[in-house]
Chain A
Amino acid sequence: MTRITCDHVRAAVLDPATVPGDWIRRPDAVAHIQQCPACRDWLEAFAAGEQAWAAEPADRFVAQVIARTAGVEAVVRDLPLLADMDPGPGFAERVLMATSSKAATEGWRTRVAGAWWAIVRRPRFAWEAAYVATVCWVLVFGNPVGAIDWSATNIRAVARERLGPPVNDLRADLESWRVRLAPGPAAQAGEAAGPQVEPAPPVVRVWEAATSWLRGLTASVVNAIALAWERVTSWSEQPAGGLPAPPGEPPADPARSPQ
């Protein structure tokens, strides 16, 4: 039998799993605790506030140490019972519902993107896009070739008449926006100091580029139609031997049909 030391007692109290369950009940361990003031002091400190122990008689103190250490062992053994508890019926469903609604609020971008790509990937999307673009074109620019004399000059005049004002309006809007977006007095003072050109804001630049591109596209389309029409008329007039209209002749009223 090995001699009981303070370290043995402390180890038994600190980690009861390392010694047999009845180790602390051994007569030599009990005798050591009774006779060792260091162990008693240590156990008192270890008891963390339960100073009443120290005032009790030694045999009762030892009995309590025994009960306490045995209790520690039992408690440590039983504590894993608390690691898993049933939260009750419907808990998992409640959590799943909460997280699915969370996903619903979080993932709207994903859903919108998914819906968009589902639309785009359909085979007939090209036809639909072309149709929508045509409708938009007509709605935005009107119908410049309806109810007029189908001559190249008229088409050009109508195009100028119909497309001129919107383009002018766009220019006027653009100018007003430039004025609004112009820098404040401080910047103007800086401008007055020298010929410094402020770069236009990105929105204005994008808008200018878009309108310029749209103007160019419109002019190209109108010119192409006019050229085609001129060729068709010259081709159709050649066999009849007709002469082109004299250059001094005033153009017909573009807004009216010749009827």
Chain B
Amino acid sequence: MAWEAFVHQFQGRVFALAYSYAGDREDARDLAQEIFVRLYEARGQWPSGDEFLPWLFRVARNRSVDYLRRRSVRRPASIADDAEIAGIPDPAPGAEAQAIASDRRSLLHAALRGLSAINREIVVLRDVHGLPIQQVASILGVPLGTVKSRASRARVELAARVLALSRGRGEA
């Protein structure tokens, strides 16, 4: 696959992953660019087939951790900027559906930021990007059992936060 085509195809996923770490659109753009540069540098080592996507996530995750370490600040749990999230285009055709989806995304992002770093990573890799739990454990370097127990707990914690945020915003 040509590099340009690869960038166009994966920019959305890589940016989404970077956003889940950086928590800010501009930082996420910088981080996603760094991830792509790293992928470009390692293009001679790209695995093929089913191994590629987990490898990509591993590279992106390592780069994100380095980026956050350099920035010396782990993003505190903060409410996502609604206007920022609302700027994300939605595939739904109707304006109302788009507004609902944007609001839902904003809510989920805000709730995700309330989780601990490890729980957020587990939810992002497993539930957002759909990686198998074994690969999540491998990428994060933690035992499978830990990921399983934390994944369930993180889901419940996330749902509680979504619920609390929904109530805080006056939703039913």
- A residues with CB within 8 A of B: 13-15, 46-48, 50, 67-69, 71-72, 74-76, 78-88, 91-92, 94-96, 98-99, 102-103
Contacts and interface: CB of A to CB of B under 8 A. Distances in A.
Contacts of A95: 7, 11, 32-33, 36-37
A18 B102 CA distance: 28
B128 A79 contact: yes
A83 B130 contact: yes
A237 B160 CA distance: 118
A interface SS class: helix
A139 B25 CA distance: 65
Q: Which 6 A-B pairs have the closest CB atoms?
A: A71-B159, A87-B15, A84-B12, A72-B159, A85-B16, A79-B127
Contact of B3 (A46, A84, A99): A99
Interface residues of B, number: 46
A85 to B, nearest CB: 4
B28 A87 contact: yes
Contacts of B158: 72, 75
B24 interface: no
Contacts of B15: 85-87, 91
B63 interface: no
Given A72-B155, A87-B32, A80 B163 contact: no
A82 B109 contact: yes
Contact of B19 (A75, A85, A94): A85
B29 A48 contact: no
B108 A81 contact: yes
B20 interface: yes
B169 interface: no
Contacts of A48: 153, 156-157
Nearest to A87: B15
Interface in B60-104: 87-89, 101, 104
Given A92-B8, A92-B11, A102-B41, A14 B16 contact: no
B interface SS class: helix
B105 A46 contact: no
B36 A14 contact: no
Interface of B: 3-4, 7-8, 11-13, 15-16, 19-20, 25, 28-29, 32-33, 36-37, 40-41, 87-89, 101, 104-105, 108-109, 111-112, 123-124, 127-130, 152-153, 155-160, 162-163
Nearest to A65: B156
B13 A83 contact: yes
A124 to B, nearest CB: 36
A79 B16 CA distance: 12
Contact of B152 (A13, A78, A86, A102): A13
A85 B162 contact: no
B104 A78 contact: yes
B16 A83 contact: yes
Nearest to B160: A68
B108 A79 contact: yes
B153 A75 contact: no
Contacts of B159: 68-69, 71-72, 74-75
Contacts of B87: 88
Q: Which of A79, A82, A96, A99 has the most CB of B within 10 A?
A: A82
A46 B156 contact: yes
A125 to B, nearest CB: 33
Nearest to A49: B157
A79 B160 contact: no
Contacts of B124: 82
A65 to B, nearest CB: 10
Nearest to B35: A95
B156 A99 contact: no
